[in-house]
């Protein structure tokens, strides 16, 4: 049976997740100027992919209960080739999500972010 568009999407997202799990840190928040304000090492439960109809979706979850404060506008999911030696494989940007506005976290707040992105009908 040949791959369908849905099958190719799920294989793609499985590889995307494998790349993300190979990098550490594998997520970062950036301010409006593109400066990194906070980095995270996500677990396999924080990067999930699934199929919804003809769309494959990846969900990225970040939770930060630190006492830090910062303002951010973008989230980047980073990855690295899991089949290459970590010291020689470059870290790549897998997802670069820009929010519609700036968000701020104060020391007494817990930040919880969910970003969903997907691809429809890829052949």
pLDDT band at 2 (very low <50, low <70, confident <90, very high): very low
Please indicate whether residue 86 or residue 37 has the higher confidence score (pLDDT): 37
As given in the structure block, the two tokens for residue 58 are 């990846």
End-to-end CA distance of the chain: 14
pLDDT digits (tens, 9 = 90+) for 54-88: 777 889 999 999 999 999 999 999 999 999 998 88
As given in the structure block, the two tokens for residue 95 are 């997802």
* pLDDT value for 121: 57
Q: Kindly report the pTM of this predicted structure.
A: 0.85
Domain that holds residue 13: 5-120
Please count the structural domains in the chain.
Answer: 1
Interior CA angle at 109 toward 112 and 117, to 5°?
15
* pLDDT value for 1: 35
């Amino acid at each position: 049976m040949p791959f369908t568009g849905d099958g190719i999407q799920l294989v793609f997202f499985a590889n995307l997740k494998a790349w993300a799990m190979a990098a550490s840190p594998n997520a970062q928040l950036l301010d409006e100027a593109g400066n990194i304000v906070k980095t995270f090492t996500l677990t396999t439960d924080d990067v999930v992919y699934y199929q919804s109809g003809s769309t494959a979706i990846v969900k990225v979850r970040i939770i930060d209960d630190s006492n830090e404060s910062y303002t951010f506008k973008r989230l980047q999911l980073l990855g690295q080739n899991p089949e290459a030696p970590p010291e020689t494989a470059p870290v790549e940007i897998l997802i670069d999500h820009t929010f519609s506005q700036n968000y701020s976290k104060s020391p007494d707040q817990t930040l919880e972010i969910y970003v969903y992105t997907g691809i429809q009908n890829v052949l």
